[in-house]
Structures are given as C-alpha cells and as structure tokens.
Structure 1
Amino acid sequence: MDEARNDQHGTGPDGSGRAPRPFRFGVVGESIRSGADLLATARRAEDLGYSTLILRDHFVAEPFGDQLAPMVALASAAAATSTLRVGTMVLCNDYRHPVMLAKEAATLDHLSGGRFELGLGAGWLREEYEAAGMAFDAAGARVGRLEESLRILRSLLSGDKTTFAGEHYRTDGLTVFPRPDRCPPLVVGAGSRRMLGIAGRLADTVGILPRALPDGTISAEITERLPETIERKVGWVREAAAGRDVELSMMVTPTFGPDPRRAAAKVAVTRGWGTASAGLVLDMPSQFVGPPEHIAEQMLARRDRYGFTYYQVSDEVMDAFAPVIAHLA
C-alpha cells in the first residue's frame, strides 16, 4: 500500500474539508515489570515505527498487572530514545493535584525535548480507591474534578499565570517552571456523554472507550462496541469540539489469521459473545481481524467513517502488529 493510498481522501469524516490526519500508533507497556523491560520495549517500539510508548496509572495488580510509576518510568524511556513520544493512558485525576501534576508534566516535557503527551481520566477502578483508603465519589464529582483539572493544566502548561476558582480547586496567580514551548497534548479517555463532551472541548486527543459503570468496572456489553454506538460517541466529541481539530484514538486488540471471519469467530468466543456474533465482531471499530494487509484496509475505511487515526496496541503484540504500520506508513 503506497503513500498515495494513505492520503487519497480530501475531506475529513467531520465534514470540515480538512484532509484526514495521517495514522500513528502507540505501544501500551502491558508487560513491563523492570527497568530493563522498559528500555528494551521503548527502543523496540521506536525501531518498529511506533509513535508513542504509553504507560497506565495503577498501583494494584489487577486488572493489568503490576506496573512502574508512569511519570518516572517515562522520563527514563525518553532518555533512552530520540524520536519516540511518551505518554500516559491515563493518569487518574484523583491521585494527583493538578498543580503538582502540571509541575511534573512540564518537567517531563522539558526532559524529553517536547515528546510528552499527558493523558488524564476521571478514575474508575473502585477497588483501587478502596485499597488506598480513598473515597470513591459519585461519577458526577469525579468528572467535575477532572474538568477543572484540565482547565488548570491547559492554562499552566500554556505558560499562563493562572488564577482559578472552582468547586474543587483554586489557584491564585500560579505559573509553572519549566515553561513549555507549547502546551503538551492533552489526552482524555472517555465513554459517557458528559465525559466525551468535556474531552471534545478541552482535549487534543480523545480516546473513545466503553462507558465506566457505577460499581467501578468498565462495561463489557457488546452494544458498547458496535458501530452505531461508536458513531454516536464520535458525534458527541465533534459537537463539543465545535470545529476544533481533535484527534480520535482507540486501544485495540488485533487478532491475526489468514481468514478474517475465522479470526472474528475466535474473538467472539473468547469474549463470551458466542460464535453467532462473529459478523458483529467484523464490524466493531475496536476489533481488527485477519492478515496485516486486511487490517490496514480496515483502518483506512474506519478513518473515513469515524475519523480514528491513532491506535494503541499492547506491547505483547507490537512485533506482530508492525507490518500494519508498514502498510500505512
């Protein structure tokens, strides 16, 4: 697949008339357990053509396994690479005050030569809050804090003297050092309408997710992954963005095999949806099945339909997924 194929369409899916964004790809450090793992994964990701190394933000082992502290680890990864961007997916807002986070983000952006992307979310894992003795407030309160944090972070990381008076946070004439040359990209993962609206207004990149549930889990419903649901969520982001050029992203789990339908059936069974759902899996925006060239074609089609241009995959499949990047580069 040549470069002209990657850029053949002249109108973005939001109807803006802008040419579509080029694709980029990130690696999520799912299996990193040591400094040696971290550096090896970062260097391998850079060599394979990935844009970003991303770390999660959890201090309990489930559901993603034990992890290094993201901000410290990303500083090390940035020092060991030269072009690879580093980012969080996503920091829990309730674990850090936005003023302290702005200081850390500005420092990491400076140390990485402007390669840091700050991902932030409202927090969702009830068991983690409870293990740390923190109150797991109602979603409305957590989301409200996140919105205020994003406003404070955008102002501080843009180099502005920031005075803010909200329901949850207050600042009085603060600035941040080191002052970034520009605000690092802000990334928000969201699944509900309110969160997607906040992300559309305040983020540079929006990760479309299944919605978080009040019990502190993420919805496993198949309906959360169907095309009409994703179209509706993208529409909420576009509406809130009001013409801003927002990057759309999604973490995906590719399933490789010569026959896309067989690969889809395997996913359907593994996820507990039943083999009869294989046809639904084939059309799910978060599922990519088949050989690398077929997955690349799926990504082009879904860029046209939804606008997704930034995909993240687990480090466990980064080598197997690399041929897809080569098809779209």
Structure 2
Amino acid sequence: MGGFRFGVLAESAGSVGELVATARRAEELGYDTVLLRDHFVPEPFGDQVAPLIGLAAAACATTTLGVGTLVLDNDYRHPVVLAKEAATLQQLSGGRFELGLGAGWLRVEYEAAGMAFDRAGVRVGRLEESVRLLKELFAGKEVRFDGAHYRVDGVTNFPAVDRAPRVLIGAGSPRMLRLAGREADSVGILAKALPGGIISDAMEERFTAAFATKADLVRAEGRDVEISSVVSVELADDPRAAAERYAVERGWGAGAADLVADMPAKFLGPLDHVVELAHHRRERLGLSYLVVSDREFEAAAPMVRALSGA
C-alpha cells in the first residue's frame, strides 16, 4: 500500500503573486502538490488565474513541490495544443507536473463562452480520445489518428519529455470511473455531474458506500490507480461538534452530524482521530491522495506532518 500524498487546491489565490506565495508555503509545510482548477467564470469557485501559466510560475518559485490541474476541462483545449503546453510545463518544472483532466460539467460556463454543451456521452467520448492522443504525443510518436471527435495527421509533440506527466482523471460517473481505471495514474473521485450542468449535492453521493462503489469501479480495470479526493479538515477537540457545524453550513441541519462523520472526505476532530480516520479510509477505500483547500491548508498542516511517509 502506497503512502499518503497531500495537495493544496489554490482556489482563493486571486493573482499570480498570491498563488506563488501559497505554493512556497505549501512546500514549506510538506505538501506534495499545489493545484489549480480550470474555470473562467467566477461561480461557483471564484475568479482564478489561467492554470497552466499560473502553475509555471509556481514551479519556478519552488524546488520540490509538484504542480497540477484539478482538473482541466478537455473541451477547452485541443489535445495537440494541450500536449505541447503540458510537455513544456513538465520540462520547465523538472518533471513535477501532474495533468488532471475531466470531461467538463459546468453548463453556464459553456454558455457564457458560446460553446456547445454536448450531452455527457459525447463529452466523455471526446475525453477518451483526448487521453489516448495525449499519451501517444507524450511518447514522442508521430501521431496519426482518425476518431469520432479528433483527426490528427502526422503530428510529433515538442518538446520531448523524458517522463510523461502523471495523469489524473476527475470522475464521478461509472463510465468516467472505468476510463480512469484504464488510463489514469490517479483518479479524483467526485460526486456525479448531472445532465443540467451541475454537480449533484445529494448527501448519499458523499457517503462511504458511494465512494467505495466508485473506487471499486476504478480498481475493476485491474490497474494500480491512486485514489484521491478533495477533503475538508478541521482539527477540533470535539468531532461531533465539528460535524454538526459542517452539516449546518451545508444546509443539512445539525441532525445530519452522524451522516457527515460517514463521509470519507470529512476529517473532523482531534489530530489523533483524523490520523486514525485517514489510515482506516486508506485501508478500506484506497484513499491516499488528500487535497485540501488553500483556505484550510495551514490548519491542516499537523495532519500532513503526522501522515507524511506513513
């Protein structure tokens, strides 16, 4: 069983300077990666810098910290263009880039940009072809491809990379989870995206049973894929009170505290308690790559120190 990894999702960094400061501090605190989302409308996560350019700045400002996307919307970049950008960032960072990809889900963003928001099956099919193309391009091959969504006729990627970036796929639906199981180094397990272009807010999507079912779909492909999730960490004396606060903040009511405690992405309570939870969830669910918001990463640092190398 692999060790834990920890990432910081820089979702409140409103400038390159703030992102660089977050990356440097994350490196000091022992985190493994700093990560950026990929949105150009402010809701639901707030305004942010362009991910690949921002990560280049973060890579230049650090020495060991990984830099990654969580996740790029495949529809926003042709894979031939993305392969060149990713290879350049992999070279610039000395091999520290992690390429997170998704099929896209935020309808209002597509509409704001005048882009067609195709049904989920089409978007996932496009991502499947894109991942295949990216891997061939990273391998230094002259690529010829004639698929349902992309046609490439004799492209060789530049710059060449000694080692392809790690690939993470963000997935919440069965088809996406199976794709991650076949192709990814890591999978970020999500609540499922709904046809209307939003992420499900259903509580049951966040319970252990649902997470386990999704992790099993990934593992059913027979490969060793790292399991990841964006998590909430609150180090507090009383786990029950912390769970009640979280439930109230989400609009579920204090009575949902026991249900919150069953959510694999919630680490609430004293340090020894959350460390025990992390070990238990890694053993039961395979969850070993924990990503926290930059709003929590300072407070979560004791958990990172306690579990690093574990």
Q: TM-score, normalised by structure 1?
A: 0.92
Partner amino acid, structure 1, of 2:208: P
Residue in 1 aligned with 2:249? 270
Asked whether the equivalents of residues 292 and 321 of structure 1 are also in contact (C-alpha less than 8 Å), the reply is no
Residue in 1 aligned with 2:146? 165
SS in 2 for 1:65: coil
The correspondence of residues 51-200 of structure 1 with structure 2, limited to 5 A, is 51-200=32-181
- Between structures 1 and 2, the one with greater strand share: 2
Provide, for residues 77-130 of structure 1, a one-character-per-residue CA deviation record: whole Å limited to 9, x for no partner: 100100000000000000000000000000000011000000010000000000
C-alpha distance in structure 1 between counterparts of 2:85 and 2:16, whole Å: 20
Of 313-322 and 267-276, more deviation after overlay is shown by 267-276
Alignment counterpart, residue 255 of structure 1, candidates 234, 237, 241:
234
Alignment counterpart, residue 325 of structure 1, candidates 296, 300, 304:
304
Q: Structure 1 residue 39: deviation in Å?
A: 1.3
Residue in 1 aligned with 2:217? 236
C-alpha distance in structure 2 between counterparts of 1:191 and 1:154, whole Å: 22
C-alpha distance in structure 1 between counterparts of 2:150 and 2:39, whole Å: 23
Q: TM-score, normalised by structure 2?
A: 0.97
Partner amino acid, structure 1, of 2:109: E
Provide, for residues 28-73 of structure 1, a one-character-per-residue CA deviation record: whole Å limited to 9, x for no partner: 0111111220111110000000000100100001111110000001
What count of residue pairs does the alignment treat as equivalent?
A: 308
Residue in 1 aligned with 2:195? 214
Asked whether the equivalents of residues 255 and 267 of structure 1 are also in contact (C-alpha less than 8 Å), the reply is no
Q: Between the two proteins, what is the percent identity of the paired residues?
A: 59
C-alpha distance in structure 1 between counterparts of 2:42 and 2:252, whole Å: 26
Provide, for residues 156-202 of structure 1, a one-character-per-residue CA deviation record: whole Å limited to 9, x for no partner: 11222222221001112321111111211011000000110111111
Asked whether the equivalents of residues 172 and 192 of structure 2 are also in contact (C-alpha less than 8 Å), the reply is yes
The correspondence of residues 283-294 of structure 1 with structure 2, limited to 5 A, is 283-294=262-273
C-alpha distance in structure 2 between counterparts of 1:36 and 1:283, whole Å: 38
Residue in 2 aligned with 1:226? 207
Asked whether the equivalents of residues 98 and 149 of structure 1 are also in contact (C-alpha less than 8 Å), the reply is yes
Question: Unpaired runs of 5+ in structure 1?
Answer: 1-19
Alignment counterpart, residue 225 of structure 2, candidates 246, 260, 264:
246
SS in 2 for 1:194: helix
SS in 1 for 2:274: helix
Asked whether the equivalents of residues 252 and 287 of structure 1 are also in contact (C-alpha less than 8 Å), the reply is yes
What is the aligned-residue RMSD (CA, Å)? 0.9
The answer to whether the aligner puts 1:28 opposite 2:9 as a matched pair is yes
SS in 1 for 2:292: strand
Partner amino acid, structure 2, of 1:95: Y
